[in-house]
Amino acid sequence: MLKPFMIAQRLLEGEQSATISIIPYMLYKIRSSLTQANTDTNSSDQVKSISSLMLRKFEEEFGCGAEHTIATDHLTEGLWRRTKGIPKLALISMFLDPRTRSAVGIPTADQEIIWGYVSTELLDLAMESGPPPVAPRLESVLAPNV
């Protein structure tokens, strides 16, 4: 039950490259592990009790992971007026990082919403930047000054 937590810690602590794009996948693995421990018929009553409490707390912070919630939970407030769910920037980073762009653990409906975020952010960036500078025409560069 705790193995995904150990893996997440190891991935984040020694990494030399950016890790924000890995966060949605790690949260998916942790949620899956807690759910499995909670529903497994071979789990003891103590494991089920602990995993149930951990899953409830996890869902308070990061949402339930159901379709149509992963991409929008960040728009709602959780406990203590903190943003709930996975931050929008982490979701966008996941989709742009070649290591995580397959979006494992993100339902198709949420993937479409996140691609919409990517598109909107790119359009906003293009609008802020303005049109590209006009390059001098080749004839004016090669023409002798008269």
Domain-embedded: residue 21: yes
Domain-embedded: residue 140: no
**Number of structural domains, the chain?**
1
Average pLDDT estimate for 134-145: 64
Q: What is the pTM of this model?
A: 0.77
Domain-embedded: residue 145: no
Domain-embedded: residue 57: yes
pLDDT, tens digit, for every residue of 59-112? 988 888 899 999 998 888 777 777 888 999 999 999 999 989 899 999 999 999
pLDDT > 70 fraction of the chain, expressed in percent and rounded:
88
Residue 43, judged by CB atoms within 10 A of its CB (0-12, 13-18, 19+), counts as middle
> 66-72: long-range contacts at Cβ-Cβ below 8 A with a sequence spacing of 24 or more?
66/107, 67/107, 67/108, 67/109, 67/110, 68/107, 68/109, 68/110, 69/110, 70/24, 70/106, 70/107, 70/110, 71/106, 71/109, 71/110, 71/111, 71/113, 71/114, 71/117, 72/110, 72/113
Q: Residue 144 has what pLDDT?
A: 62
Other CB atoms within a 10 A radius of the CB of residue 38 amount to 19
Domain-embedded: residue 138: no
Domain-embedded: residue 90: yes
Domain assignment of residue 58, given as a range: 3-132
